[in-house]
Amino acid sequence: MRPDVIVVGGGLMGCSVAYRLAKNDVRVLVLEKSVPGAEASSAAAGILGPSVESFRDAFARQLGRRSRELHAELADELDDLFGVDVGFRRCGVIKLVFDEADQVEVEAQATALEVNGVRCEEWTREDLLQEEPSCNPEVIGALHVAEDAQVEPKKLLSAVALGAEREGAVFRTGSTVRHIVVDGDRARGVQVDGELLEADRVVVAAGSWTTLIPGIRLDADTIYPVRGQMLATQTRPPIFRRIMFGAGGYVVTRPDGRVLCGSTEERVGFARGITFGGMAEVIGRARRIAPALANATVQDHWSSFRPGTPDGLPLVGETHVDRLLLASGHYRNGILLAPLTAELIAEAVTDKPSSREAEALSPRRFEETD
Ligand SMILES: Cc1cc2nc3c(=O)[nH]c(=O)nc-3n(C[C@H](O)[C@H](O)[C@H](O)COP(=O)(O)OP(=O)(O)OC[C@H]3O[C@@H](n4cnc5c(N)ncnc54)[C@H](O)[C@@H]3O)c2cc1C
């Protein structure tokens, strides 16, 4: 059956869009060149932390906070419908202060958060060590934001993909979209494996690869890959209760004691791999946060590509080509922003009037290429 919407890419963005649209009785076909979750969405730490990640930009923080609350609802919905726990936990985040420069940054952050009504507390070294005893005793203070959360990206991705399929979306794996087929100024469908697949609309959610697909009239560098290397270990009892940011890195602890340490930010094109330098960086930062991790065994390591954009905001909505939409470019916050993105795409597909968010994230803010 001819789909209403073709979604290109089966990462968390593509699966979330497919689930949201399928729930609205839109016929969706998802085309994924590998398998759902093959790339960045499975590599992520799952931090839902707009208070730390976007504290300099009030608009980005507002988007993040809204999406974080959509995550809370989505987690309940997926649990009710499918009995899947996606690991949403409002564990809170802590930003550590090691020196004067950190102190200045944390104070600016606290002011920015308070202006927007986000509750945060500045902790003394003693407060911190009482709450999180495994933290480096060299800290001189910390900022605590209780409302931020975490989720387990792989569990979330499979639950959302399952939800999409249950609602009637069709997934085709191993299907690489070679180009977007455009008639005049209007998208007609996509070319995949020598076959033309037509739909009323095409939504490209191909992460770091989005602007490489011919037919999207945007410069290739409008979305570019930023490699992130991570590693994981196991601690017993779990080393921290909250997500710890500090020394340029972070440590995320799951309730079962699994610990994820991240991450590098490297402009190396699509070069895959784990490097000695990258691991040294990640390990050094994690040890600065928690010296006890020096004795932990490395259980896993991986890397993937965050889709970066020139202005740090994602590209969501219709492009210069009529009926060709993007849901991509979420950089460090794609897990966080997935539910909000799906909502904005659903609004665009049903021709709802544009909201302020939709205007600000429109791909049309970047110039059209031939
Ligand atoms: C190390 C690391 C840690 C991160 N931690 C966090 C975090 O804690 N919190 C957070 O919010 N975000 C985090 N992120 C960012 C987040 O992972 C990304 O922003 C998000 O996963 C992007 O999702 P996506 O679906 O757009 O892209 P992807 O997950 O990369 O999916 C894109 C999909 O498109 C497919 N595809 C590409 N080209 C084609 C084609 N031509 N035809 C068909 N299919 C195609 C790919 O195979 C892939 O499956 C992290 C990222 C990294 C790398």
* Nearest atom within ligand 1 for CA of residue 208: 30
pLDDT at position 273: 96
The tens digit of pLDDT for each residue in 203-247 reads: 999 999 999 999 999 999 999 999 999 999 999 999 999 999 999
CA distance 364 to 318: 7
- Above 70 in pLDDT, residue 55? no
Nearest to 213 by CA among 117, 351, 328, 57: 328
Residue nearest atom 27 of ligand 1, based on CA coordinates: 207
Domain 89-146+224-305: CATH superfamily, name plus number: D-Amino Acid Oxidase, subunit A, domain 2 (3.30.9.10)
Write out the DSSP string of 118-146.
Answer: ---EEEEHHHHHHH-TTS-TT--EEEEET
Write out the DSSP string of 280-305.
Answer: HHHHHHHHHH-GGGGGSPP-EEEEEE
CA distance 74 to 79: 8
Q: Where are the domains of the chain?
A: 5-44+154-223+310-365, 89-146+224-305
In this prediction the pTM is: 0.98
Ligand 1 pocket check: which of 7, 12, 305 to mutate, most ligand atoms within 8 Å of Cβ?
12
The tens digit of pLDDT for each residue in 57-80 reads: 889 999 999 999 999 999 999 999
Mean pLDDT, range 93-116, rounded to an integer: 94
The tokens for 352 are: 């709802």
CA distance 177 to 199: 14
Please give the order of strands across the beta sheet that includes 201-204: 170-172, 28-31, 5-8, 201-204, 324-328, 315-318
> What fold, for 5-44+154-223+310-365?
FAD/NAD(P)-binding domain (3.50.50)
Write out the DSSP string of 339-357.
Answer: HHHHHHHHHHHTTPPPPHH
The tens digit of pLDDT for each residue in 148-163 reads: 999 999 999 999 999 9
pLDDT at position 1: 83
Q: How far is the CA of 12 from the centre of ligand 1 (A)?
A: 7
The tens digit of pLDDT for each residue in 303-350 reads: 999 999 999 999 999 999 999 999 999 999 999 999 999 999 999 998
Instruction: Report the pocket of ligand 1 as residue ranges, CB < 6 Å.
Output: 8-14, 31-34, 38-41, 43-47, 176-177, 205-209, 213, 228, 230, 262-263, 304, 306-307, 328, 330-336
- Assess whether the region 5-44+154-223+310-365 and the region 89-146+224-305 belong to the same CATH fold: no
Contact 175, 154 (CB under 8 A): no
* Nearest atom within ligand 1 for CA of residue 37: 49
Contact 313, 365 (CB under 8 A): no
Ligand 1 pocket check: which of 330, 340, 344 to mutate, most ligand atoms within 8 Å of Cβ?
330
pLDDT at position 350: 87
> Which 3 state secondary structure label does DSSP give 19?
helix
Residue nearest atom 3 of ligand 1, based on CA coordinates: 44
Return mean pLDDT, the chain.
96
- Above 70 in pLDDT, residue 7? yes
Backbone torsions φ then ψ of 31, nearest 5 degrees: -110, 120
Q: Please report which confidence band the pLDDT of residue 87 belongs to, taking 50, 70 and 90 as the band edges.
A: very high
Amino acid at site 229: Q
